[in-house]
Structure 1
Amino acid sequence: MQLAGKYLLHAAPPKVWATLMNMDTLAKVVPGISRLEKTGDHTFKSILDIKLGPVSGSFTGNLQLDDLQEPSAFTLKAQQNSRIGNANAAIKINLSPVGTDDTEIVFDGDVKLSGMLASLGQRVMGGVSNTLTKQFFSNLEKELEKTPAS
């Protein structure tokens, strides 16, 4: 399943970058995270509780921030497992300045699903991923508003 889009945030790229690289903030903005534990410089063990259409599940796995090019790009890699299936994703994220105080985030990646997750179908999973993406950016905007400009 392809996951791609763009979003405009009202904060400069260095502030967005710092917010996304902060483990505590990341735990607040990623929908469904109930636990995020640092295991390395840019690697984390995670537990997510997510409702996927008619099915809900608890996922455990790893998140990794890779190919870091501060403050303009990185790749988010995730491997999540649950009793209802597994999800593996690699999503390239680019942050571009728009004027002096805004950032456009463009994301593009692939999510591979197996088990019951894969059987839910593209329509259900596409709707779920759109909802989770909107929640992520809404949560990120709220965190950016709380944090003073650096």
Structure 2
Amino acid sequence: MELTGSHTLDAPVSTIWTMLMDTDTLARVVPGVTRLEKTAENEYLAIAEIKLGPVSGAFTGTLSLSDIRENEGYTLHVKQNSKIGNADATVSIALKPLSDAQTEISFDGNARLSGLLARTGQRVISGVATTLTKQFFANVENELAADPTTHS
């Protein structure tokens, strides 16, 4: 499953970067993630609840960041396991300043699903990916709106 897209946020690059590097903020903005616990530098235990059409499940796995370029982006690797199947995703995230007060965030990667999740999910997966992407950007915008200091 391909994961690609971009979105413009009304905040400077440094603000978006700080949010994307903060464990608590990431746990709030990544759809489905209910808990992130730091296990090592740039590595986390991730607990998620995901619903794909008629299939839902609790996932446990890892989330790690690599190829970190301050205020420019990083590669996000998520590996999740559950009773209904496994998910393994690698996504490159890039930040591009459009102005002092606007940042374009873009992502490009793919996810592999296995088990019941893959069999049941294939029919609805592209719609789910679009929904999760929209939810992620809406969550980031809500975080920005909740903290007036982010618009400096």
Same fold (TM over 0.5): yes
Structure 2 counterpart of 1:95: 95
Could you tell me how far apart the structure 1 residues matched to 2:143 and 2:35 are? Answer: 18
Could you tell me how far apart the structure 1 residues matched to 2:98 and 2:5 are? Answer: 16
- When the two chains are superposed, the root-mean-square deviation of aligned CA atoms in Å is 1.1
Q: Can you list the C-alpha shifts for 1:100-137, whole angstroms capped at 9, x where unaligned?
A: 11010110001011111211254401111111111111
| Amino acid aligned to 1:109 | G
| Amino acid aligned to 1:55 | V
Structure 2 counterpart of 1:31: 31
Q: How does 1:1-150 map to 2 (within 5 A)?
A: 1-147=1-147, 148-149=149-150
Could you tell me how far apart the structure 2 residues matched to 1:145 and 1:15 are? Answer: 12
Say which SS state the counterpart of residue 143 (structure 2) adopts.
Answer: helix
Could you tell me how far apart the structure 2 residues matched to 1:116 and 1:60 are? Answer: 16
Could you tell me how far apart the structure 2 residues matched to 1:59 and 1:145 are? Answer: 29
Could you tell me how far apart the structure 2 residues matched to 1:58 and 1:122 are? Answer: 19
Shift of 1:145: 2.1
Say which SS state the counterpart of residue 104 (structure 2) adopts.
Answer: strand
The aligned length equals 150
Q: Which structure 2 segments of 5+ residues have no match?
A: none
Shift of 1:80: 0.3
Q: TM-score, normalised by structure 2?
A: 0.94
Identity of aligned residues (%): 53
Q: TM-score, normalised by structure 1?
A: 0.96
